[in-house]
Chain A
Amino acid sequence: MRVRPVRIDQVIPSIVERDAVSHHALEAQRVLHSMGFVSEIYARNMGPGLHGRVHLLADLPRERPEHQWVCYQASIGSPAAEVFASHPGLKLLDYHNISPADLVERWLPHLGEEIRLGRKQLAELAPMVELAFADSEFNRVELEEAGYRETAVAPLMVDTTNFSSPPDKRLLDRLAEARARGGHDWLFVGQMLPHKAHQDVIKALACARELFDPEARLHLVGRESCPAYADALHRFVSALELSGAVDFAGSVSSGELSAYYASADVLVCCSDHEGFCAPLLEAMHHRLPVVAYGVTAVPETVLDAGIVLPAKSPVLVATAVQRVLTDAKLRDELVRAGLGRTQVFSIEAARRGFAESIERVLRAS
């Protein structure tokens, strides 16, 4: 058994409200407090709403190794990794995946460099880290490949507060009006970043309108984080004459998000890379069937609670969506299985998983 430290602090490059990794770090702090540890979060950058709750990285204490452990939330290349590496405390690493540079570099060249740096830092930290935990098995395997000796899966502590927000009434009415004119509503939720491959959902919609559902609509919810990519998507929709059928909703409030989930018929995800993909769970919570391209961590998040496709040709995705929309029995089975998945990934279960990871390190000799 190890000597129990007094404090376990977290180091994170950036922390902000309404961000999955940031929320995970805040939940991890709650778990550590509940386990009796002193625990603070130290960030290089923080959103204005977190001042006072999160400390500047420069203020990270450097106490004796048996007194203080540090846990690094890794998701991108950052100077924060160097601060973590130089800290004398026992080290833990919580890995949320780093998107491959080749998926984003064409659109965000500066981010491509920092992604490469992130991968390099991940490998350099491996020999220093006592236990590295990942929020999916896919991510855990990447940790092993990067040279980490002790690894575990501790699910993402997903922000469920948005799940039960009452739907925005005005938006709900507007969406209902459109539905009254016929056609189904597709939904995709995620930041407008190139690795999310929004264009492939749009292609599938174009195909579905040709083959099955001429009035089908697509709602793209998520911040337009990459202007050039967002511009290309807008141009693409115009070129395909789908301007009336594709709704670029942008960043929305929790009430508006609930309205989108409540009004949609299916969540369609064609992402090329996901370390976990929280919107899949959100859709399941809202009893929305999922059709997803089965790469990276998507198959293990969805499991049997959605149609997981081995490819994403527009015809294949459109046909899968059509099947889900027209096969009531299948739809019911998917919704039921989805509710089961939300229990597996409940915040309580995820908190237990994180606490067990900490206990595992404490038990180790």
Chain B
Amino acid sequence: MNSEVVAEIEAQVRELRATGRVAVGFEDELDACFEQVAEASLASAGSPAVGDLGSSSPAGLSLTELGRRLSALARRRLGPSLRHLERRTALGAARAGESAWIQVHVAVDRLERVAAGSRVATRAISAVRPRDLAGSGTAAAHPAIAGLFLDWVLERLSEGSEPGRDLPRRVLHAECGDGRIVEMLSARGLDAYGADPRWSVRTRGDGKIVAAGALEYLSAAQSEMFDAVLLTSVVDRLRPGAARALAQLAARSLAPGGVVVLVSARPEAAVAMDPVAADLAPGRPLHPVTWCHLLAHSGLAELAVFEPDASDPDARESEVFAVSARRVSPSLTTAIGARL
């Protein structure tokens, strides 16, 4: 029955077209119209934060208008998983919850970049900045990473080194914030470098810290340049779709035997909504197993995940996890280069 009816409907459609009741190009116009709005929506969702504020200078805005625009920016840029935090930040009521300190940091950092150059906006943001993050410049500088994670990271870095060589020579921390971890790594005898794009970061005279984003820096870096690449807050700040590129670029920059270590917030710690909705939330961090998948796809091996005991209420670091992977194959660079 169904097939007969469908055949009749198709015949009617042919007649509609033949008699000109359906204007030539009408359906193509509908398709083109949707493509046009789709591009606009995607561009809006992924556009640079500063552009999202509109053409007028933030310095010329009233505090109310700035707050309104920041809230709108938060809605578009951070998605539902972080919206509640961002709203609190933008409205001046933010107090970092234990469960979301990395995300608050990310939100504040984005707002800072948006408001750069506006004294009024900077004052407004300073007033709402979570106290324990002030001056840190990066989630990586949090004691959780500086303590427990740094030890784990150093352990990974030292594994598989050449005999007689306790630690690798050259390490990159991207994105390094104020460079605190770079300093700590240097103090442990490493040739440590940092890169960070945030407005407050300036390229240091010795070139050890460079004002550049992780993707930008790694794209420009020579292949096989580092014995280790440490990725911390960058993985929570990635633009949509950039995770795969970051993994591949990090892999390419590793010398044979080198390791990449990344530290990220758990997606489930970053959200305050039901888990199914959270899985769909744009801008949320990736699961450790997803990072393993991406690093393995980039040609790295010896994957390891470090997840502190989440059941320990005192373990602040349980909100984050670390993943490491090693470049084993000497031919990796060619393979990755071909894929990029």
Chain A residues in 8 Å Cβ range of B33: 236, 239-240
- A345 lies within 8 A of chain B by Cβ: no
Whether A106 pairs with B30 at a CB distance below 8 angstroms is no
Which of A46, A236, A240, A333 contacts B275, CB < 8 Å? A46
Chain B residues in 8 Å Cβ range of A231: 41, 44-45, 76
Chain A residues in 8 Å Cβ range of B244: 113
Whether A193 pairs with B26 at a CB distance below 8 angstroms is no
Given A307-B6, A319-B9, answer yes or no on A110-B1 (Cβ-Cβ < 8 Å). no
Whether B38 pairs with A232 at a CB distance below 8 angstroms is yes
CA distance A46 to B276 in the complex (A): 8
CA distance A333 to B12 in the complex (A): 21
- B277 lies within 8 A of chain A by Cβ: yes
Residue of A nearest to B240 (CB): A109
Whether A77 pairs with B278 at a CB distance below 8 angstroms is no
Stretch from A114-122, A144-152, A270-278 that touches the partner: A114-122
Whether B2 pairs with A58 at a CB distance below 8 angstroms is no
A283-303: CB near B (< 8 Å → 1, else 0) gives 000000000000000000000
Stretch from B15-23, B85-93, B189-197, B255-263 that touches the partner: B15-23
- B64 lies within 8 A of chain A by Cβ: no
- A47 lies within 8 A of chain B by Cβ: yes
Residue of B nearest to A110 (CB): B286
Whether B30 pairs with A314 at a CB distance below 8 angstroms is yes
Whether B279 pairs with A227 at a CB distance below 8 angstroms is no
Given A47-B275, A227-B282, A231-B45, answer yes or no on A82-B289 (Cβ-Cβ < 8 Å). yes
Whether B9 pairs with A316 at a CB distance below 8 angstroms is yes
Chain B residues in 8 Å Cβ range of A112: 241
Whether A333 pairs with B1 at a CB distance below 8 angstroms is yes
Whether A117 pairs with B290 at a CB distance below 8 angstroms is yes
- B243 lies within 8 A of chain A by Cβ: yes
Whether B276 pairs with A232 at a CB distance below 8 angstroms is no
Give min CB distance, B205 to chain A, whole Å: 38
Residue of B nearest to A204 (CB): B30
B11-39: CB near A (< 8 Å → 1, else 0) gives 01100110001100011001101101110
- A6 lies within 8 A of chain B by Cβ: no
Which of B6, B37, B44, B290 contacts A77, CB < 8 Å? B290
Chain B residues in 8 Å Cβ range of A81: 289
Q: Which residues in window 299-338 of B have CB below 8 A to A?
A: 310-311
CA distance A229 to B39 in the complex (A): 10
Stretch from A90-98, A134-142, A175-183, A206-214 that touches the partner: A206-214
Whether A210 pairs with B26 at a CB distance below 8 angstroms is yes
Chain B residues in 8 Å Cβ range of A207: 22, 26-27, 30
Give min CB distance, B113 to chain A, whole Å: 21
CA distance A106 to B34 in the complex (A): 14
CA distance A105 to B241 in the complex (A): 8
Given A199-B34, A211-B22, A333-B1, answer yes or no on A232-B278 (Cβ-Cβ < 8 Å). no
Whether A323 pairs with B5 at a CB distance below 8 angstroms is yes
Give min CB distance, B313 to chain A, whole Å: 14
Which of A106, A199, A226, A306 contacts B282, CB < 8 Å? A226
- B188 lies within 8 A of chain A by Cβ: no
Chain B residues in 8 Å Cβ range of A77: 287, 289-290, 293
Chain B residues in 8 Å Cβ range of A78: 287, 289
CA distance A197 to B6 in the complex (A): 21
Whether B16 pairs with A319 at a CB distance below 8 angstroms is yes
Whether B30 pairs with A206 at a CB distance below 8 angstroms is yes
Given A117-B289, A227-B282, answer yes or no on A315-B6 (Cβ-Cβ < 8 Å). no
Which of B9, B37, B293 contacts A232, CB < 8 Å? B37
CA distance A179 to B243 in the complex (A): 49
Whether A113 pairs with B290 at a CB distance below 8 angstroms is yes
Whether A313 pairs with B27 at a CB distance below 8 angstroms is yes
Whether A45 pairs with B27 at a CB distance below 8 angstroms is no
Given A304-B2, A333-B1, answer yes or no on A236-B37 (Cβ-Cβ < 8 Å). yes
CA distance A21 to B22 in the complex (A): 42
Whether B6 pairs with A308 at a CB distance below 8 angstroms is yes
- A68 lies within 8 A of chain B by Cβ: no
Residue of A nearest to B46 (CB): A228
Q: A77-B293, A304-B2 are in contact. List 8 more A-B contacts (CB 8 A).
A: A19-B276, A22-B276, A46-B275, A108-B280, A228-B41, A232-B40, A308-B6, A323-B9
Q: What are the 5 A-B residue pairs with the smallest beta carbon separation, nearest first?
A: A45-B275, A109-B241, A14-B275, A232-B41, A235-B37
Q: List 20 A-B contacts (CB under 8 A).
A: A16-B275, A77-B289, A78-B289, A110-B240, A113-B293, A113-B294, A114-B279, A114-B286, A116-B293, A117-B289, A203-B30, A207-B22, A231-B76, A239-B37, A307-B2, A309-B6, A314-B27, A315-B13, A320-B6, A320-B9
Give me the interface of B with A, judged by CB distance under 8 Å: 1-2, 5-6, 8-10, 12-13, 16-17, 21-22, 26-27, 30-31, 33-34, 36-38, 40-42, 44-45, 75-76, 79-80, 240-244, 268, 274-280, 282, 284, 286-290, 293-294, 310-311
